[in-house]
Amino acid sequence: MIDTHIHADSRSGEDFKEMYLAGINTAITCSFYPYKIEHEMILLNHLNRILELDTARANEYGLDLKVALGIHPANSNINPEIIFENLYEWIETKQIVAIGEIGLEDLTENEIAIFKKQLDIADETKSKVIIHTPRKNKKEVLKEIIEIIPQHLDESQAVIDHINPHVIEDAVNTDCMLGLTVQPQKMEKEDAIAILDEYGFERFLLNSDISNKASDPLSVPKTVRELERLGYDKNNINKVSHENGEKFFRLNTF
């Protein structure tokens, strides 16, 4: 199994061990600094910590941790240039599998400008992007995201994450992959399964988005096991449990 969106820097080694024992072979950790940042070097240090420390921590427990880096909209109050420079280096040296998570939160000018620039970098470097959608005003912000993406990037290079039943109709008409986050206060596994049941399994990725907030490191295997219990086709289950993620992020996981 692949958990396509976590925040490993906020989690313990015990979480990685539980995930691995539950059948998660690979996870993709994304950048998000949950505290106020006074200077861009704080964010750069955080991103380097993910690359150098968290991957090693996860590997100690058997979890193959892939990395996505970028400027989360919550961290858009900095001078972003040094992060942009490093993105090019990380992409060139194949240290990251995507730019992410990026996106919009409050629709500020800084957020929008940094989001567009990161999409441009992805377009230039043929990179994948993981796009955040917020808890609040999700429908309004998603509409803006959907308008911006095709002006800067081929939609097939993007996954729009944290899609739920309230916004699925807005997102499903794009050519983006869609991330289903099974997490307390975001979406229960039953809601994710209802979306898959209605819209099919071809374009969806499962993730837990475990972070410093309330979250379940085993939400992906629990959702997969529930699909198995309910008798869904094994080939379809394989698509959302790992095949879609492998193909989209071009992973060599086994």
Q: pLDDT, tens digit, for every residue of 123-179?
A: 999 999 999 999 899 999 999 999 999 999 999 999 999 999 999 999 999 999 999
Q: Examine residue 164 and state whether it is found in any structural domain, yes or no.
A: yes
Q: Distance from CA of residue 240 to its chain's centroid?
A: 14
Predicted pLDDT of residue 253? 54
Q: What is the pLDDT of residue 254?
A: 47
Indicate whether this model's pTM tops 0.85: yes
From the list 30, 19, 210, the residue with the least C-alpha distance to 102 is 30
* Distance between CA atoms of residues 138 and 128, nearest Å: 22
* Within-domain flag for 16: yes
Structural domain range at position 120: 2-249
| 120, 114 Cβ separation under 8 angstroms | no
* Residue 158 included in any domain: yes
Q: What is the pLDDT of residue 139?
A: 96
Structure-token pair, residue 93? 């040296």
Contact between 27 and 65 (Cβ < 8 Å): yes
CATH of the domain at 223: 3.20.20.140
Nearest to 31 by CA among 91, 75, 88: 75
Domain count, the chain: 1
**Which strands make up the sheet holding 129-132, listed edge to edge?**
2-6, 26-29, 64-69, 98-103, 129-132, 158-160, 177-181, 204-207
Counting as low any pLDDT under 70, the low residues of the chain are 253-254
Q: How far apart are CA 128 and CA 24, in angstroms?
A: 22
In a domain, 254, yes or no: no
| Residue 198 within any structural domain of the chain | yes
